[in-house]
Structure 1
Amino acid sequence: MATPLTAARLLKALRDEGLKVAEHRSWRTHHRNAAGPWGGVHGVMIHHTVTSGTGNSVELCYNGYTGLPGPLCHGVIAKDGTVYLVGNGRANHAGRGDRRVLDAVIKEAATPSPQRNDTDGNRVFYGFECVNLGDGKDPWPAAQLLAIERAAAALCRAHGWSRRSVIGHLEWQVGKIDPRGFSMRTMRTRIGKRLGGSAPGPQEPPPAAPASYEPFPGPSFFRVGRNSPVVTAMGRRLVAEGCGRYQVGPGPQWTSVDQASYAAWQRKLGFTGPDADGIPGRTSWNRLKVPRKS
């Protein structure tokens, strides 16, 4: 059992892990401690908001809603990777879950599937709400996934916990599905790798830009049945731009999912109507900057 971090220590831990952090309103004194105890703490819980847009998601998590007062978490992780701190203390995020899961988290063991909701989780878990509709279609940009990894690792590092101290809401409470769209097992692997090294400091150097980019292959290249590493490279760039619609992949075969993802990229650039049909054109392709395959 660990003593919860003070507001100052929480802020420092997140920033030391390389995160961009925004302090929202009076988050340092915003809590639900009058409704029940807060701490000792045992882990970190990840959620999705079922909302879109950063501003309204942050306000909702700060204020709460009828029947569930805020804060609804400690931090909101936006799609661009910014962490907005909205609470410090007990927050209405975990609800009641399975005591056996908490015991496993305390032991840092594999967690069982929740079978009953019999234990107060708001007392013992930090919570991060991540901006996502949770419909399995809303993308998880690479920057947001990296921020989830960093935020969870920051708290684990501060308390001396392992990756086993990080769980999803669906692993705690019967009937929950969040976070939907990525695997908590994969996320814990990422967190474990991060914890295996030293803290990266406020900034990590950006990756070197590729020496060259794939030239535009022409619209006829993008047809059903096309199989090429260029398609994979394109898909990875779309994911990085927050336009990927992939549940699996991307892969080398051009599919309707690639077309839907590229259409999202075209709309992001301001194209509309037939100019945003998902078939790459020269202008949008050159702006995507797909790395050349050697």
Structure 2
Amino acid sequence: MATPLSADALLSALRKEGVSVVEHAGWRTNNRNHKGSWGPVNGVIIHHTVTFGTTATVSLCFNGRSDLPGPLCHGVIAKDGTVHLVGNGRANHAGSGDGDVLEAVIAERATLPAPDENDTDGNVHFYGFECVNLGDGKDPWPEVQLDAMARASAALCRAHGWTAASVIGHKEWTSAKIDPRGFTMADFRARVSQLLGEQPTETTPAKPAHQPFPGAAWFKKNPKSPVITAMGKRLVAEGCSAYTEGPGPQWTDADRASYAKWQRRRGYTGTAADGWPGAKSWAALKVPYTKEI
């Protein structure tokens, strides 16, 4: 927990870490502080932009959109490794996330809980870097860009006395996001840790963020499991509910009817939208991890 860095301190920290920085006009006062608190800060969130091209991306992140005013982060990290500063203060980048994750970041725990409840305003607590990438899992991450991302993260950790455990991905903050794609956050934190000179520690393997597909046959065994409840809640959140009561642990015809709605939403028809979950539609639903099957 810390007081946010001033614009000068942020710029100095990045340059001391060996980062190439471009200051865009007006970045020092570009913020959303009039909409809510900025700080205490607790960590750094890494995003991918789902855009290409530095100029257009920087403009978008500085100005925002009609439905989401800028700044959309504090810095844009281009493919060439340059960090473009676009905001200083509260930014619309993290959104709502899981308070349990925030507690884990504050405690600098080696493993994070899977995000579930989006009950905490992350724009208060996190610096954000938007990193130029299409986010399709295919667009490459140049080494120079990954190095700059790690150095920018390490700069903030060093300035605040944090460890690499204070750096998380957007997908680790909220179940509603998948970014960044194309590398693991465990590998990324290892980069940051190396820059900070931290000693590696043995950790318990992290639980997956989302429930692995249990297999089609599992659902046809009339299961009673918290996985069914978690699935039902996601279907309700996606507007695909056929429930007359809240979803519960017992698989029922209402679960199947709700899942069929989800399959049709995904473009499936005929027997492919019969309400029995399949691997691809299940992965797209992003059911929070609940238990081992």
**TM bucket, shorter chain:** 0.5 to 0.7
1:37 offset after TM fit, Å?
0.5
Q: Deviations over 1:128-151 (max 9, x none)?
A: 000000001111000000001100
SS of the residue corresponding to residue 65 of structure 1 reads coil
Equivalent position amino acid for 2:35 in 1: A
Distance 1:60 1:112 in 2: 32
- Find the counterpart in structure 1 of residue 66 from structure 2: 66
Q: Deviations over 1:212-253 (max 9, x none)?
A: xxxxxxxxxxxxxxxxxxxxxxxxxxxxxxxxxxxxxxxxxx
- Find the counterpart in structure 2 of residue 123 from structure 1: 124
The aligned runs of 1:104-119 (5 Å cut-off) are 104-109=104-109, 110-119=111-120
- Find the counterpart in structure 2 of residue 33 from structure 1: 33
The alignment covers a number of residue pairs equal to 197
- Find the counterpart in structure 2 of residue 138 from structure 1: 139
Equivalent position amino acid for 1:104 in 2: A
- Find the counterpart in structure 1 of residue 22 from structure 2: 22
SS of the residue corresponding to residue 123 of structure 2 reads coil
Distance 2:70 2:44 in 1: 18
1:172 offset after TM fit, Å?
0.2
1:174 offset after TM fit, Å?
1.2
- Find the counterpart in structure 2 of residue 275 from structure 1: none
Q: Deviations over 1:63-90 (max 9, x none)?
A: 0001100000000000000000000000
CA RMSD for the aligned pairs? Answer: 0.7
SS of the residue corresponding to residue 134 of structure 1 reads coil
1:46 offset after TM fit, Å?
0.1
1:116 offset after TM fit, Å?
1.3
SS of the residue corresponding to residue 91 of structure 1 reads coil
Equivalent position amino acid for 2:183 in 1: F
SS of the residue corresponding to residue 127 of structure 2 reads strand
- Find the counterpart in structure 1 of residue 175 from structure 2: 174
In the alignment, structure 1 residue 183 sits paired with structure 2 residue 184: yes
Distance 1:142 1:25 in 2: 28
Distance 1:179 1:73 in 2: 14
Distance 1:111 1:18 in 2: 29
Distance 2:70 2:197 in 1: 35
Distance 2:66 2:170 in 1: 21
Distance 1:190 1:83 in 2: 17
Distance 1:113 1:144 in 2: 27
Distance 1:37 1:161 in 2: 21
The aligned runs of 1:1-294 (5 Å cut-off) are 1-109=1-109, 110-196=111-197
Structure 1 gaps, min length 5: 198-294
Distance 2:176 2:35 in 1: 24
Structure 2 gaps, min length 5: 199-293
1:175 offset after TM fit, Å?
1.9
Structure 1 stretches of at least 4 aligned residues deviating more than 6 Å after TM superposition: none
Equivalent position amino acid for 2:87 in 1: G
Equivalent position amino acid for 1:152 in 2: S
Q: Deviations over 1:118-174 (max 9, x none)?
A: 000000000000000000111100000000110000000000000000000000011
Equivalent position amino acid for 1:54 in 2: T
SS of the residue corresponding to residue 181 of structure 1 reads coil
**Taking every aligned residue pair, what percent have the same amino acid on both sides?**
68
Distance 1:63 1:165 in 2: 27
Distance 2:29 2:176 in 1: 31
Distance 1:169 1:25 in 2: 27
Distance 2:162 2:150 in 1: 14
1:25 offset after TM fit, Å?
1.5
Equivalent position amino acid for 1:171 in 2: E
Equivalent position amino acid for 1:105 in 2: V
Distance 2:117 2:175 in 1: 6
* TM-score, length-scaled by structure 1: 0.66
